[in-house]
Amino acid sequence: MNFGYLILIGIISLFSWLVSSKLKSKFEFYSKVQLRNGMSGKEIAEKMLADNGIRDVKVISVAGRLTDHYNPSDKTVNLSEAVYNQRNAAAAAVAAHECGHAVQHAQAYSWLTMRSKMVPLVSISSKLSQWVVIGGLILMAVNSFGIYVATAGLVLMAIATAFSFVTLPVEYDASNRALAWLKNKNMLTQQEYVGAEDALKWAARTYLVAALGALASLLYWAFQVLGRRD
């Protein structure tokens, strides 16, 4: 089981590295495709929000690279400095994607609502789950109480894993909303749109890899606990 798990993790890690590398190269490439309309990421975001009737969300710039996100607690679309200021296909894709989350929030998109409710619990479970499982396994060598501790750890780990999979429809839907708006409003030329679509496709794959990695880890520790119990 351990050897098989190491092979699985190795494959997932390799795939994750390949997807991450591909994503970076895609964004670098599409960052060179300048928008014919001359709009910056900030302007793209503000227009998408306005077109969807959202007037209580602010578009702000944040430091860092690939730090773009939507914060539902204070209703802000946070764009990295490059995306906020630049006027290219990659910036347009990211800005529109983050606004896709704002539209989800405004329309009470069920998967986003579920994900938001899970955040407080996941912030705890993701940090403690593995340690609780390991502690339970150690206790199992001493007495039967350890199985309950290890099982509790697995439950916490399962919550974090479920969160990873709930994130998938949220991210894919945000990209679909972004691309639909970019196309329907004729914001981009055909070449620019193809670039935005390709960039978001690779970005979504990073979430898929993360979810598969979380599932593999959960299965590994579950087999460890079940094997010790037998």
Tokens at 61, concatenated: 């710039």
- The helix/strand/coil state of 55 is coil
- What is the distance between the alpha carbons of residues 112 and 177, in angstroms, rounded to a whole number? 14
Nearest residue to 95 via CA among 119, 75, 77? 77
Strands 58-62 and 76-80: what pairing? parallel
Q: Is 98 among the residues known to form the active site? A: yes
Catalytic residue among 28, 43, 81, 98: 98
What single-letter amino acid sits at 85? N
First-to-last CA distance in the chain? 15
Q: How far apart are CA 123 and CA 110, in angstroms?
A: 20
> Which run of H or E residues covers position 59?
strand 58-62
Sign of CA dihedral 185, 190, 196, 198: positive
Rounded to whole angstroms, how far apart are CA atoms 81 and 51?
23
Cα 154–Cα 159–Cα 164 angle in degrees, nearest 5: 120
DSSP state of 188: S
Mark out the alpha helices in the chain (DSSP H runs): 2-30, 41-51, 81-85, 89-106, 110-140, 146-184, 190-229
Catalytic (active-site) positions = 98
